[in-house]
Amino acid sequence: MRSFFAKFKFFGIVLFIISAVIVALFYNALQPKKILPIYQPAMVNFELVDSTLQHVKKYHTIADFSLTNQNGKTVTQEDYKDKIYVADFFFTTCPTICPIMTKNMASLQEKILDDQEVMLLSHSVTPEIDSVPQLKKYALEKGVRDSKWNLVTGDKKQIYELARKSYLAVKTDGDGGKYDMIHTENFILVDKERRIRGFYDGTKPEEMEVLLEDLETLKSSYAK
C-alpha cells in the first residue's frame, strides 16, 4: 500500500512540474513583445531640434555624412551600413560630463566587442580644437578600439546640422554664435535603417543597462 502511494506521490510531483512548465511557457508566449519606439522630431524636446523639423512626425532618419576619425580616415554612413550603432556628442577638453560619458561608452564598447552588428560613433562639438592628432591622443587614453568606435571631427556646420537635424541631441548655445552648440549627455540608439530608437543618459550606469537591454531587443527584431 505504501509503495502504491509513494508511486502516486512521485507521479503527482512530476505532473505538477510539467504543468508548471507548460503554464510558464504559455504565459511567456502571451506576453506582448517589447517593441522600441521610432523617434520623430515632434516627439523630442523642442530645444534639441532644429526649428525646421519640430513639426515632423514620421519618416525621420539620420542624414548622410562625411567626417574624419581619430586615424585621419574619412567616415561616412557607408561605414555604418547594416549596422546598429550608438552615437553621442562630446569634446576632448570637456571637464564635466564628457569623461563620465566616455567611460560609459568605453564600457559599452567592451560589451559589444565581438558583436559584428553594433558600432559606436562620437562626434566632437568643437572640431576647431579636436584635430585628428587630438582625437587620436584622446582615443589612446580612453581605450578606444578603432574597429568598433569612431571619434569624428570635421566641418562645424555639418556636425551642427547632424546634431540638430538628425540626432536631435544638442542645444544652441544661446549667445547668437553661428553653429555653436551645447551637447547633452544623450546616447542615441540608431537602427539599421538609420532611425532613432532610443535616448539614454550617458552619465548614468543604470541607463547603460537599459540601453544594452534595448540593444538586444532591437537585434532580435532583425533575427526573424
**Which residues define the annotated binding site for Cu cation?**
94, 98, 183
Taking alpha carbons only, the member of 103, 156, 147 closest to residue 128 is: 156
CA dist 177 to 19, 82, 173, 197, Å?
68, 36, 7, 31
Q: Would you say how long the chain is, in residues? A: 224
Hey, what's the cell of 14? 512530476
DSSP string covering 139-182 = HHHHT--TTTEEEEB--HHHHHHIIIIIS--EEE-SS--TT-EE
Work out the burial of residue 118: count CB atoms within 10 Å of its CB; fewer than 13 is exposed, 13-18 middle, 19 or more buried.
buried
Taking alpha carbons only, the member of 13, 63, 37 closest to residue 166 is: 63
* Binding site listing: 94, 98, 183
Whose grid coordinates read 506576453? Answer: 31
